[in-house]
Homo-oligomer: A and B are copies of this chain.
Amino acid sequence: MGTGKQQRRGDTRQRIQDVALELFAEQGYEKTSLREIAERLEVTKAALYYHFKTKEDILTSIFDDMTRPIDELIEWGKEQPRTLDTKRAILTRYSEILTNAAPLFRFMQENQATMRDLKTGESFKDRMLALLDILRDDDPATPMTAQVRCFSALFTMHGGMFVLKDADGDPEEKRKAILEVAIELVTQAHHGA
């Protein structure tokens, strides 16, 4: 209904990011060619290069926009006392972040090999470790199982998103169940288990 090329002006950069993430998540980073992205947008490949310096740059730019909430969460977490309440809050907020940026996290989950040699991947790993640092206690007496529980909580949340995608049931209910289990894991760890 008239939303043709007119409305597109000025938002091309954004549209590239959207379509790219869509395809990256759908097919993987390596298997998605710039030709595909361009075709789906009905622009030329060269147009992509007007807005982004390289293919990797497209991906990076998507991350930059979407990982800001995580950085804020980490910063906030670092300033809080290491209480169980803090940890619960971290997980709760992280669960929301995950939900809001689901395609991006699905992409990461499924393209770890690719992420590994992208600068962006490296920095994301650092963020995860920072979150882990907040969840677990630095006490050297902390048993190994407690550490396992903590990363298990994180993994459960990440994995849950797209595993339960296929399962039946209300998405919101599923999300809450995942969060609940994650919180429980961290709670046990907090109590030294």
Residues of A within 8 A of B (CB): 27-31, 107, 109-114, 116-117, 143-145, 147-149, 151-152, 155-156, 159-160, 163-164, 167, 169, 173-174, 177-178, 180-181, 185
A116 to chain B: which residues have CB within 8 Å?
28, 110
Q: A-side binding surface: helix, strand, loop or mixed?
A: helix
A113 to chain B: which residues have CB within 8 Å?
27-29, 31, 107, 110-111, 114
19 more A-B contacts (CB under 8 A) besides A113-B114, A145-B181?
A27-B117, A28-B116, A30-B30, A109-B112, A110-B113, A111-B113, A112-B112, A144-B173, A145-B177, A148-B178, A148-B180, A149-B181, A152-B155, A152-B185, A155-B156, A155-B159, A155-B163, A159-B159, A185-B185
B151→A159 contact, CB < 8 A: yes
Give the docked Cα–Cα distance between A151 and B174 (Å): 13
Give the docked Cα–Cα distance between A82 and B94 (Å): 35
Give the docked Cα–Cα distance between A29 and B30 (Å): 10
Give the docked Cα–Cα distance between A2 and B173 (Å): 64
Nearest CB in chain B: distance from A180 CB, A: 6
